Chains A and B, each alone.
Chain A
Amino acid sequence: MDLNKSISQATQEIFQTMLMMEASPGQAVTERAKGFVDSVSAIVGMAGANKGMLAIHIPASTALIITSSFLMMEVTEVDDDVKDAIGELANMVAGSIKADLTEQGQEFKLSIPSVVCGAEYEIDCLTDSDGVSMPFSIEGGEFLVEFHLQK
């Protein structure tokens, strides 16, 4: 399975279908992103024969753009609506990647999304893992989608 292609297609489809926005993928890297400033991060755990996680890290300003588009109303601060919207975004991307993995014979169960936000924070989970981090840009902002499987 081409993981980069799976992440790219899933994210682009969700933005086109549910947000009427174009999300352009950038160059994927294997290094993990750990520290975040003034951001919102949503994480979906994947449990099965292997463990994995899908995370989306979004600067607060971009999270407001995405949530405003989801809800079709102007959202001006990171509140429960923003956390819920970004959590649901991660849930949909994880669901699409899960479907691709299932086609390859890898069965997973998805967790309910967990969302963290703040002025400065670090995320450190599945430290011994392989995966990719793919940046995306939308009009007015950018965000990062990470997918990792435990070694």
Chain B
Amino acid sequence: MGKKVLIIDDSNTMRKIVTRSLRQAGLDFETILEAGDGQAALDVLAGETVDIILSDINMPVMDGIEFLRQKQADPKIKDIPVVMITTEAGADILDEAKSLGAAGSIKKPFTPDQIQETLGSLL
């Protein structure tokens, strides 16, 4: 069965770039789901099972940190690995993401190789 990924970013442009980068990295997901913020992602996850989540941090409505907090509290989705893709490269915010279960992080701007390197070990 093909793998599914959920991309969370408030920028439609960035969701398209991440989608393209996944393909360029040789990570051919059968299904690529998208959400514009953390709350929209939780809504998607209420009806879909995914293998991995790629999430921005700085988003309206519900940011990536609150999304991690809510996900950790839900036993049905808490074990899905999340990789943060963000301009927020500060150690404090990435430490907080890690403490809430984030499996890794990728700083924008990024290359397909960086995506492959980070996601390869999680799939």
Residues of A within 8 A of B (CB): 13-14, 17-18, 67, 70-72, 80-81, 84-85, 87-88, 91-92, 94-96, 98-99, 102, 107, 110, 112
Contacts and interface: CB of A to CB of B under 8 A. Distances in A.
A87 B89 contact: no
Contact of A112 (B58, B86, B110): B58
Contacts, number: 59
B121 interface: no
B59 A96 contact: no
Contacts of B111: 17
A95 B16 CA distance: 20
Contacts of A94: 87
Contacts of B89: 95-96, 98-99
B60 A71 contact: no
A17 B109 contact: yes
A48 B86 CA distance: 19
A95 B86 contact: yes
B31 to A, nearest CB: 21
B109 A88 contact: no
A128 B110 CA distance: 35
B2 interface: no
